[in-house]
C-alpha cells in the first residue's frame, strides 16, 4: 500500500486562488458596509432638539440631543402635519404599534416608551442614539429622510 498523496500542482493553486477570492469578497463586503454606515451618518440631519437646525418637517426631538434622561424615558419627535415617521433606537427598528410605536399624526407626535415585550426594553445606561426616518405621507416611506441624535441615560 502506498501513502496517500497530498494535492500538488494545479490543485493547490486552485485552493490558494479560491481562498484569495473568498478573502477579497469578504473584504469588499465589509468595506461596503462601512461606507454605507458612513454615508448614512453624513446625510442624516441632526439637530439641537429645539428646531434651530432640524429639517423643516421636524419641530422637536425628545429627549434633546446631549440631554440626560432615565433608562425608561420616552423617545420621539414632533413632526409637521402631513408627515409620518418611524424610529431606530440604538440600531433596533421600532416601526409599528405592535413594536410599541405611538403615533398621533393629528398632533405630529411620534413616541416610543421602552418596556417589557417591546423591541427596546430599556435604554442603554450611557449614550443612546436615535435615527428617525421622516417622510411626507403623499410621497411614502421610500422618500424618508433620516434625522439622528444622541443623548445619555442613567
The per-residue pLDDT for range 62-75, each reduced to its tens digit, is 999 999 999 999 99
- Say yes or no: domain 46-153 is CATH 1.10.3720.10: no
CB 47 within 8 A of CB 35: no
The pTM of the full predicted model, rounded to 2 decimals, is: 0.65
Q: Is the pLDDT of residue 44 over 50?
A: no
3 state SS of 87: strand
Computed on alpha carbons and rounded to an integer, the radius of gyration of the chain in Å comes to: 23
- Mean pLDDT over all residues of the chain? 83
Q: What are phi and psi of 34, to 5 degrees?
A: -65, -40
**pLDDT attached to residue 150:** 97
Amino acid at each position: 500500500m502506498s501513502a496517500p498523496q497530498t494535492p500538488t500542482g494545479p490543485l493547490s493553486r486552485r485552493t490558494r486562488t479560491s481562498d484569495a477570492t473568498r478573502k477579497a469578497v469578504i473584504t469588499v463586503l465589509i468595506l461596503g458596509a462601512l461606507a454605507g454606515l458612513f454615508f448614512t451618518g453624513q446625510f442624516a440631519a441632526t439637530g439641537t432638539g429645539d428646531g434651530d437646525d432640524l429639517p423643516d418637517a421636524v419641530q422637536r426631538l425628545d429627549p434633546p440631543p446631549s440631554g440626560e434622561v432615565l433608562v425608561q424615558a420616552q423617545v420621539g419627535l414632533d413632526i409637521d402635519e402631513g408627515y409620518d415617521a418611524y424610529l431606530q433606537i440604538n440600531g433596533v427598528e421600532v416601526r409599528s404599534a405592535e413594536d410599541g410605536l405611538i403615533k398621533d399624526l393629528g398632533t405630529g407626535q411620534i413616541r416610543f416608551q421602552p418596556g417589557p415585550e417591546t423591541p427596546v426594553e430599556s435604554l442603554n445606561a450611557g449614550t443612546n442614539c436615535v435615527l428617525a426616518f421622516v417622510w411626507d405621507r403623499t410621497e411614502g416611506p421610500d422618500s424618508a429622510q433620516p434625522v439622528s441624535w444622541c443623548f445619555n441615560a442613567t
